[in-house]
Structure 1
Amino acid sequence: MQPFHQRKVALIVCVLLGFLYPNFSRAQSNQSTYSLQQLIEVAEKYTPAIRQSEAFANAATAHITDVKHEQLPFVKFNAQASLGSANAVNGTYFPMGVVPSTSGSITNRQNYNATIGDLASVYSEYDIYNFGLNKAKNENAQAEASLANAALAKDKYQLKIELAKLYFNILTYQNLQRIDKQNVKRYATIDTIIQSLARAGIKPGADLSQANAELAKAKIQLNRTNAQLKEALQTLSTYTGISLDSSNINNRILDSEVVFNNLQYDSTEANNPMLDFYKSNNDYLATNAKLLKKSYLPKFTLIGSVWGRASSYAGSNQFNAIGTGLGFQRYNYAAGIAFVYDFMDGLHKKDKLTEYKYELKAGQEAYNQQKLNFDEANAQADLQLKLVMDNLQQLSVQKKSAHAVYADKEAQYKAGMVTLIDLTNASFVLYRSQVDYLDAIDDWYAASLSKAIATGNLDNFIQSVK
């Protein structure tokens, strides 16, 4: 029997990282059964991939405050005391950062006498007007935080999808296990009947050998189902960090009463975290482009400073005692408005905006493709649901008829009216009808889940699974 759906390897790898965290050691289950909603709530707290996304979202939210604080005026305090010569020359040079400034008399010879001086200053800058750059920065930070939270919601949505598929896999394997046990019991009963008839000389020993072979085959199928169920439970334990066995999952019989409990699906796009992520990404790209435009505009900056100086050099080759250069001798202040603009910014802005234009187009097409995929999945799910509903009535008749045929063949075999082949064929038809019916229920869950995912009704669907 095919599993419900293939599970994504990448997310499982992330879940396996949970074993590296000692504070999240695997716990034994302390309650009898878990609903799908309860398992999801546990997994969201335990899974490292979700905790990682939460950390990214928190970092993006913290970045909003950081951006706002960056817009405050900066105030720098500098102080120094220096010892050196004071030989000055005429001329002009561009500042090179590491070239010290020298203040002294211009003389006709080199003087190596040492002077000492100190300097302290407070310098401040504040952009009083930058043509909306600060607003663009704030909007960009908000969009980045929204994108990070949308990514978190998307990751949780994908985790719910994986757990829902796994949960329905387990339900299917539990019901298949029940069917396989019934099949083993039937062949064990046939084996017992043949042994009694063989000892009475009514049936040949060959029938007993054939019955033993069919019983062994049924047991092998049961062993396979048991292994598949254990593997699915182990994977679920990996997601949740809880040691689970079959008794912890509601071992209900999947039947038509569950199937006919249809949900009403709201196809509003806003309910789908997968689409919300692409929308948020496009909003973020748009704010990037706006921020870029604003960053290349001129700005008006208010600047101001106060400072004090002292020096042991008095000028005219008069070098006072070194101690006189400590302690401020003169104080000054200055204030002004600066206008800054790079005339090449227009060219740089044009190049960057061209890049952002295509990035935004790519983001919009990614959204359109995801929307198209969901529309297709929704349409396919509707077709599958209709097919399942049409088939269930026939499968129910098939299953009841197969039960009746097997009961008749068993009685006829005891009376010597049919061969063992007729009886085993009837047993196989009954087993196949039970499995086919279970497959139809499984298909209904698969299609319903697919429709819930595509229409953004996953939470409602999960809550309906009691």
Structure 2
Amino acid sequence: MNVLLIRAAKPLANVLLFLAPLCPLSAQPQPIYTLPELMDSAMRHLPLLLEKEALVQSAEAGIGEARDAFLPQVNVAEGVSLGSANDLAGPFLPVPGAIHPISGSIAGASNYQAVTGNMASLYAQYDLVTFGLKDARVASARAYVSLTRAELEKARYLIKWEIGKLYFNILSRGYQLAVDGEDVRRYEQMYAISKALTGAGVNPGVDSSLARAGLSRTRITYNELAGELRRLQQQLGYLTGIASPGIRMDTSRVGLTSAAGLTGPYPADTLAAGNPLEDYFARQQQQYRAQEALARKSYLPKLILGAGGWARGSAIQYSNVYSSAGEGLGYQRLNYVAGVGITYELFNGVHRRDRLNVLGKQVTAAGYALQQQQLSLHNQQMQADESMRTARANLAELPAQLQAANDAYRQKLAQYRAGIINLVDLVTASFELLQAQTGYIQTLNQWFIASLDKAAATGTLDQFLQTTK
């Protein structure tokens, strides 16, 4: 089959070499970009990709945050106060917003004299045993990094795929524009000949009118295609950050002979393991599973090691004598405490069950999403295979059609000049030639687009794109 493609490429290669100089991709000399260079420009320029790179960096910083969350907690406080210490003995329920004296005299009568006091405290707490919570939280953070990286690679992959399609479509439209330009020149020639023959009385005047109408039609077609080509160039400029009038693409290594060598690297019924379009959904499922593991550890008891100390000063002396304000500004007592405690919220079992139920559904949904993506990629691969088979079959016939159409047009042109045939016969021959040239270009583009789609589906997009540089 490769030999067939190489043979089929030769007539088209001659046509493209003839038409390429006619393709008005740029009026002024500009730098010529290879396809990998266009890709690199998009990777550096497109804000969407830069945003996702920043999100990856943010996720990576989250790993350090998860580790540091388990550092010892050390709180230092110092306060100087002025107020009354008029209290009663007995229990009370602390209410948010209520300020209760932490110590004071207990006397039979109320005493609203203001006194001073100060207090400094130091308290440190460390989760001595977390029952795997720390490792689970760090693992969850790592899974999130993998997910954000997969999302970045998926976005890059899709942009490369889109640029590849634009690249081949721009080439196709450029060659088609050259073909349409040749069609315009053929009608200009027909119009000039018909006017001469009409003026000499050989042909009726309707011939020149028909030729003029055909010339206008071909020019309109040419103008519409030129506008479409500019729109594709503008889209490529939007993705790459290169001004669209300055984009000239290196096509020196693009052709069916190159394409023939690429028919083999794709497995028939399998997908590549490193396909970013599939890997993203796999990472998403892993991230949900990491959250499941974190939830299981989050509701376990905590074994805490705590230690602290505080120094206290007050203007109220031990004999319940209210001294001057200055007496309460110095530290008079020092205390310390240390201990080990265990904490467990009694309804954690319910909370854990509810959370795991939510995350379990998310894991299941992510699994279905992965299966759907695998199914879609496999279907895309099969459709690309069918398009490539159709293109190869057509390429076996198109060279003969192109040669026959070209010979027929030249013969009809000579006959029309001699006045043997009418204009309709010549127009029909010109249309057949245009259809043969257009069919060749479209079939070539169909083969490349199908090859590109198959490469994207099988995870070999970069390998395919490198062959076109």
Q: Does TM-score exceed 0.5, indicating one fold?
A: yes
Residue 460 of structure 2 is matched in structure 1 by 457
Classify 1:397/1:142 alpha carbon distance in 2 versus 1 (closer, same or farther; 3 Å). same
Residue 90 of structure 1 is matched in structure 2 by 89
Residue 315 of structure 2 is matched in structure 1 by 312
Count the aligned residue pairs: 438
The within-5 A match list for 1:417-428 is 417-428=420-431
**Is the CA contact (8 Å cut-off) linking 1:175 and 1:254 kept in structure 2?**
no
Deviation of the 1:253 alpha carbon: 10
Comparing 315-324 and 363-372, the one that deviates more: 315-324
Say what the alpha-carbon RMSD is for the aligned residues.
Answer: 1.8
1:332 to 309, 322, 335: 335
**Is the CA contact (8 Å cut-off) linking 2:296 and 2:352 kept in structure 1?**
yes
Matched AA of 2:375: L
Deviation of the 1:210 alpha carbon: 1.2
SS at match of 1:270: coil
Deviation of the 1:308 alpha carbon: 0.6
Classify 1:280/1:138 alpha carbon distance in 2 versus 1 (closer, same or farther; 3 Å). same
Deviation of the 1:384 alpha carbon: 1.3
Residue 12 of structure 1 is matched in structure 2 by none
Residue 434 of structure 1 is matched in structure 2 by 437
Residue 348 of structure 1 is matched in structure 2 by 351
Q: Give percent identity, aligned residues only.
A: 35
SS at match of 1:242: coil
Aligned counterparts of 2:462 and 2:192: Cα–Cα separation in 1: 50
Write out per-residue CA displacement over residues 10-42 of structure 1, whole angstroms, 9 at most, x where no aligned residue. Answer: xxxxxxxxxxxxxxxxxxx99521112111111
**Is the CA contact (8 Å cut-off) linking 1:269 and 1:275 kept in structure 2?**
no
The within-5 A match list for 1:208-357 is 208-245=208-245, 248-250=248-250, 256-263=256-263, 264-265=265-266, 267-357=270-360
Aligned counterparts of 2:271 and 2:64: Cα–Cα separation in 1: 33
Matched AA of 1:94: L
Residue 5 of structure 1 is matched in structure 2 by none
Aligned counterparts of 2:204 and 2:102: Cα–Cα separation in 1: 120
Deviation of the 1:268 alpha carbon: 4.8
Deviation of the 1:136 alpha carbon: 0.3
Aligned counterparts of 2:462 and 2:383: Cα–Cα separation in 1: 20
**Is the CA contact (8 Å cut-off) linking 2:253 and 2:468 kept in structure 1?**
no
Classify 1:269/1:95 alpha carbon distance in 2 versus 1 (closer, same or farther; 3 Å). farther
Aligned counterparts of 1:410 and 1:255: Cα–Cα separation in 2: 31
**Is the CA contact (8 Å cut-off) linking 2:33 and 2:247 kept in structure 1?**
no
**Is the CA contact (8 Å cut-off) linking 2:35 and 2:250 kept in structure 1?**
no
Comparing 36-45 and 73-82, the one that deviates more: 36-45
**Is the CA contact (8 Å cut-off) linking 2:275 and 2:459 kept in structure 1?**
yes
Q: What is the TM-score of this pair, normalised by structure 2? A: 0.90
Classify 1:255/1:203 alpha carbon distance in 2 versus 1 (closer, same or farther; 3 Å). farther
Matched AA of 1:160: K
Write out per-residue CA displacement over residues 204-242 of structure 1, whole angstroms, 9 at most, x where no aligned residue. Answer: 322111111111111111111111011111111122222
Write out per-residue CA displacement over residues 284-315 of structure 1, whole angstroms, 9 at most, x where no aligned residue. Answer: 10010110010000010111102111111014
Residue 63 of structure 1 is matched in structure 2 by 62
Aligned counterparts of 1:395 and 1:117: Cα–Cα separation in 2: 100
> Where does structure 1 lack aligned partners over 5 or more consecutive residues?
1-28
Q: What is the TM-score of this pair, normalised by structure 1? A: 0.90
SS at match of 2:312: strand
Residue 365 of structure 1 is matched in structure 2 by 368
Comparing 373-382 and 193-202, the one that deviates more: 193-202
Structure with higher RCO (Cα < 8 A, 6+ apart): 2
Aligned counterparts of 2:416 and 2:120: Cα–Cα separation in 1: 111
**Is the CA contact (8 Å cut-off) linking 1:234 and 1:244 kept in structure 2?**
yes
Deviation of the 1:108 alpha carbon: 0.9
Aligned counterparts of 1:72 and 1:31: Cα–Cα separation in 2: 59
Aligned counterparts of 1:32 and 1:105: Cα–Cα separation in 2: 89
